[in-house]
Amino acid sequence: NCSTTITNTSSLPKQFGWIGHCDSSNFDGGCLCLAAGVPNRDGSYTHICCDCRFDRCAWRSEFGFLSRQSQQFLAIPERNIISIGGWAFATELGMSNNLREALQEANHGTIATNLARCFRDKKFDGVDFYWEYPGVFPLSALVQR
């Protein structure tokens, strides 16, 4: 995550995939809304990634959008991935230290347990920790505040 150097060029994956993103943060808004069940209109995506909120007090994921769309998202034929984080989560004051704190050793057990429970209960296929430029200036200056 700290460079753009590609380190594994000795073997290629057996197959490549395409990931589509479904952003539920504006689901109740008047525009730019995409229901979880329809992001793959032409069938080219192998995985669909949908965002969720993260409760840093309890170190668990919150799926507000899934209360309305869980059946759609879990019924898609593509592999489903949840995304924790994002630009605001990594940069806004009061939120910018969330993933940094979450990944500290003291929190590993709680986060691993909560994610495993979430995967078991919701039957997700994967997780994407979406951490925007954690060490790049001026974003690193925000964390200092």
pLDDT at 67 exceeding the cut of 80? no
Domain residue spans of the chain: 51-66+84-144
**Cβ count within 10 A of residue 70:** 14
Which tens digit of pLDDT belongs to each residue from 43-62?
Answer: 788 888 777 766 655 555 65
What is the pLDDT, as a whole number, of residue 42? Answer: 78
CA 89, 94, 100, 105 dihedral sign is: negative
pTM: 0.62
Q: Residue 18: what pLDDT?
A: 85
Q: How many CB atoms lie within 10 A of CB 16?
A: 7
For 2-41, what is each residue's pLDDT tens digit? 566 777 778 888 888 888 777 655 556 665 566 666 666 7
